[in-house]
């Protein structure tokens, strides 16, 4: 779990953030914080407001109200450029990679290392790529074309891209959703590696197994609001799901499972059937 020495240091505080689209409230006054070296899950059903909240932190959306504090400095809103400059990196579910370029070219796309006279320094780029991949414990050829990588390997390239920009807060959007079990396990191990390096991660996931495998805490969203927050070591999957769907729905499901089944008994006179 998170390093106890850094557990009290908040790198991100979100306070009372709200957002509406065409009069429809997508997010209503949500607050949470992220600590150094912590994996903080963000869970909820589709439409719960997870994506809206994260896009506000990443500068893609402007909040209607609230504030975002990063490393002690408050901001009423952020642009994508400001968020990147402050060290916010996002690995979205749909990758932003160019398939015809190599691993190294994708990692440093838009920020290629240059040498004397401003010319591209391919050797330096390759060395930096290897250093980033080694940091993740990944064994990929920097010169390999991205279109020849598996989905899981492309996920690694996206994470390396974020680390190359000196990310201080990494947001991962459903990182295992499109992966088979072996690659899911590799991504979860990568997340643990990042935590061991004190990189705080916001993990957006609907997969309770993933959340309980790597997260320290979880904020639960429902209908655009914060339904609750739990410490994973003290919670159960059922408790988190109950927060996601609401107490009323949980009671209905429980009653459905506890309702006695109708037993049909047919007598010798098949025209008479009793129901118990």
What's the CA gap between 177 and 215, in Å, rounded? Answer: 16
Look at residue 159 and tell me if it is in a domain: no
In 3-state terms, what secondary structure has residue 155?
Answer: helix
pLDDT in tens, 87-134: 999 998 888 899 999 999 999 987 766 666 666 778 888 999 999 999
Q: Could you tell me the CATH number of the domain that includes residue 226?
A: 3.40.50.300
In 3-state terms, what secondary structure has residue 42?
Answer: strand
Look at residue 246 and tell me if it is in a domain: yes
Look at residue 144 and tell me if it is in a domain: no
Look at residue 219 and tell me if it is in a domain: yes
Element housing 30 (H / E) = strand 24-35
What's the CA gap between 194 and 188, in Å, rounded? Answer: 10
Domain that holds residue 38: 1-87+205-276
What's the CA gap between 88 and 97, in Å, rounded? Answer: 18
Structural domains counted in the chain: 1
Look at residue 269 and tell me if it is in a domain: yes
Look at residue 172 and tell me if it is in a domain: no
pLDDT of residue 117: 62
User: In sequence order, which residues have a C-beta less than 8 Å from that of residue 141 and are 6 or more positions away?
Assistant: 103
In 3-state terms, what secondary structure has residue 225?
Answer: strand
Look at residue 97 and tell me if it is in a domain: no
pLDDT in tens, 173-210: 999 888 888 899 999 999 999 999 999 999 999 889 99
Look at residue 69 and tell me if it is in a domain: yes
């Amino acid at each position: 779990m998170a390093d106890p020495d850094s557990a009290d240091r908040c790198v991100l505080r979100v306070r009372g953030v709200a957002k509406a689209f065409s009069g429809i409230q997508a997010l209503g006054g949500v607050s949470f914080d992220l600590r150094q070296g912590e994996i903080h899950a963000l869970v909820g059903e589709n439409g719960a407001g997870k994506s809206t909240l994260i896009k506000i932190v990443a500068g893609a959306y402007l909040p209607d109200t609230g504030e975002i504090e990063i490393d002690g400095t408050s901001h009423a809103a952020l642009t994508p450029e400001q968020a990147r400059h402050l060290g916010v990196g996002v690995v979205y579910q749909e990758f932003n990679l160019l398939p015809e370029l190599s691993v190294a070219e994708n990692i440093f796309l838009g920020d290629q290392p240059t040498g004397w006279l401003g010319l591209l320094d391919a050797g330096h780029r390759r060395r930096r790529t290897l250093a980033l991949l080694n940091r993740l414990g990944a064994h990929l050829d920097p010169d390999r074309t991205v279109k020849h990588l598996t989905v899981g390997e492309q996920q690694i390239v996206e994470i390396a891209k974020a680390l190359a920009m000196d990310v201080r807060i990494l947001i991962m959007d459903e990182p295992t959703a499109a992966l088979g079990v072996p690659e899911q396990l590799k991504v979860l191990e990568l997340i643990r590696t990042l935590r061991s390096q004190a990189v705080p991660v916001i993990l957006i996931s609907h997969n309770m197994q993933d959340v309980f495998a790597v997260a320290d805490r979880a904020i639960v969203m429902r209908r655009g609001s914060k339904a609750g927050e739990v410490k994973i070591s003290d919670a159960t999957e059922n408790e988190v799901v109950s927060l996601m769907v609401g107490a009323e729905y949980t009671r209905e499901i429980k009653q459905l499972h506890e309702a006695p089944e109708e037993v049909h008994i047919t007598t010798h006179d098949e025209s008479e059937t009793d129901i118990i």
